[in-house]
Copies of this chain bind each other. A is one copy, B any other.
Amino acid sequence: MILDYLNPANYDWKLILGGAGLIILKLIGIIIAFLIVKSIGKRVIQNSFKKVVDRENISLGRARTLESLSLNIFSYVLIFIFVVMIFEIFDYDATALLASAGVIGLAIGFGAQGLVSDIVTGFFLLLEKQIDVNDYVTTAGFSGIVEAVGLRTTQIRGFDGTLHFVPNRQISSLSNHSRGNMRALVDIGISYDDNIDQAIEVLQSTCDRIAAEDDSIKEGPNVIGVQSLGSSDVVIRVIAKTENMGQWAIERKLRKALKEALDSNGIEIPFPHQVYIEKKSE
């Protein structure tokens, strides 16, 4: 009697097959829908990138990286939804699958949110051209030359030779020192007893001589005036615009030349001063 139920003839094949037909129809519908969504999505992504590349002058290699990343993420999401729907159709309650995914996803999400954050930031670092290999940048407390920009990590070579690995999410704001001319700035103190006008004249003529000699100077150097009245000296500021990365050499050159010019004109760069008032010991 029990074995009867293993006898296929006893099952309501009509209902089962009717359901099967419906399943097949649904399946076909889904597959078609997703093929359409996928090809449209792909084309939309590719076109957006083409437009952005044209408009923003992004190098082809960089655009490829970003495009392939976008396509990958798009595919993963689509496949995930596709799998869920297939399960649904075959009547294995997909909520089980989904809820599991949810619980696991949440658990990982809390721990791994840094990872997503890294990739999102990395994406925009590349897209907005904030950073290029060989740029001199300051970010997240590190300064140095960029060696590599990845989707998760950026590598910065410090000037002392250290290689800093910076997760992109740490790059909250970024200072790029390789985007245009830089300023060279020298503060030089003269004595309160010296004539300010004469000192400025001496300094300016030295500046002009150096400007003539050195091609890496783009503007100035100019003496802009009395920056502060220090406790022992009158501080005079000199600023110039130089080629990128040339600012330190120019500053060193200026410091030496200005010091020597003041020396040879008898203008004192004063040591700290103090007035002494003597009083008898009690």
The chain A residues found within 8 Å of chain B, CB to CB, are: 1-2, 4-6, 10-11, 13-14, 17-18, 20-21, 26, 29-30, 77, 80-81, 84-85, 88, 90, 92-121, 124, 128, 130, 138, 140-142, 150, 152-153, 157-167, 170, 172-177, 179-183, 185, 188, 192, 196, 224-229, 231-232, 234, 241, 244, 247, 249, 252-253, 255-256, 259-260, 268-282
Note all chain B residues with C-beta closer than 8 A to A273.
271-272, 274-275, 277, 279
A271 / chain B contacts, CB cutoff of 8 Å: 231-232, 273-275, 277
A37 to chain B, nearest CB (A): 9
CB distance from A21 to the nearest CB of B (A): 6
- A272:B269 contact, CB within 8 angstroms: no
Q: How far is the CB of A85 from chain B (nearest CB, A)?
A: 5
Oligomeric state, in copies: 7
What's the minimum C-beta distance from A131 to chain B, rounded to whole angstroms?
8
From known contacts A97-B85, A271-B277, infer whether A2 and B10 are also in contact, taking CB-CB under 8 Å: no
Asked, given contacts A108-B116, A277-B271, whether A225 binds B97 with beta carbons under 8 Å apart, the answer is no
**A152 surroundings in chain B (CB, below 8 A):** 124, 128
Residue of B at shortest CB range from A113? B110
Contacts of A117 on B, CB cut-off 8 Å? Answer: 110-112, 114
Q: Do A153 and B175 have beta carbons less than 8 Å apart?
A: no
What are 9 A-B pairs with beta-carbon distances under 8 A?
A: A26-B92, A88-B96, A96-B98, A112-B120, A271-B275, A274-B275, A274-B277, A277-B282, A278-B280
Question: Once the chains are docked, how many angstroms separate the CA of A226 from the CA of B183?
Answer: 17
Interface pair B30/A92, CB less than 8 Å apart: yes
Q: A96-B98, A111-B113, A225-B253 are in contact. List 5 more A-B contacts (CB 8 A).
A: A84-B96, A110-B117, A142-B175, A196-B260, A226-B259
- Once bound together, how far apart are the Cα atoms of A179 and B116, in whole Å? 28
Chain B residues contacting A252 (CB-CB under 8 Å) are 224-227
Centre residue among A104, A117, A165, A181 by max chain B CB count within 10 A: A165
Closest to A80 in B: B100
Residues A183 and B165 in contact, CB atoms below 8 Å apart: no
> What are the residues of chain B within 8 A of A228 when measuring CB–CB?
255
Contact of A5 among B21, B103, B114 (CB under 8 A): B21
